[in-house]
Amino acid sequence: MDAKMINPFINATTHVLQTMAFVTSKAGKPYLKQDDVARGDVTGVIGITGETNGTIAVTFDEGSILKIVSNMFGEEMKELNHEIADAVGELTNMISGQARRELETMGKIFEAAIPSVITGKNHAITHYTDGPKIAIPFTTEGGNFTIEVCMER
């Protein structure tokens, strides 16, 4: 995977969280995911096809997503419920959509499937491909989250 293909996901994520939730997120250094390290409490996952096949996963810890959704809704969210899952689905869609638009300007056309959201304390995610799996850690005021971008070779 071309390293330049990672930037659109970083840009889309910071932009979506800033405009939808007024949350400033700071991307750390992307790394190659070697195992199931990215554990979290809520994950949005969406498949992509086209230029190549892949999957995008956004894994939030409880603190980060409660703060993000509280800001989106303008009311304090205290637990991981169905409203949080819906919000993560919407955020995943928006991040995927914005990233795909930037990728399109690079001549890389992707289609997106529909997002699924997994809720459960401390779950782990594995992506089933022999292609590279890039993880991008993000910090926010409320907590941390990780974006994983995996594509077939």
Q: Which is nearer to its own copies, 24 or 126 (CB)?
A: 126
Chain contacts with its own copies (rule: CB under 8 A) = 35-36, 43-50, 53-55, 57, 82, 85-86, 89-90, 92-93, 111-129, 131, 150-152
> What is the C-alpha end-to-end distance of the chain, expressed in Å?
7
Q: Which is nearer to its own copies, 141 or 147 (CB)?
A: 147
- Indicate the residue type of 91: L
Q: Which is nearer to its own copies, 26 or 42 (CB)?
A: 42
Q: Are 55 and 150 in contact (CB under 8 A)?
A: yes
CB of 141 to its own copies, least distance (A): 25
Q: Which is nearer to its own copies, 7 or 129 (CB)?
A: 129
CB of 117 to its own copies, least distance (A): 5
Q: How far is CA 1 from the centre of its chain?
A: 18
User: Residue 147: which of 22, 46, 2 has the closest Cα?
Assistant: 46
Q: Which is nearer to its own copies, 15 or 39 (CB)?
A: 39
> Bridge partners of 135?
31, 148
Q: Are 140 and 25 in contact (CB under 8 A)?
A: yes
Separation CA 42–CA 32 (nearest Å): 21
- 19: Cβ–Cβ under 8 A, 6 or more apart, which residues? none
CB of 1 to its own copies, least distance (A): 12
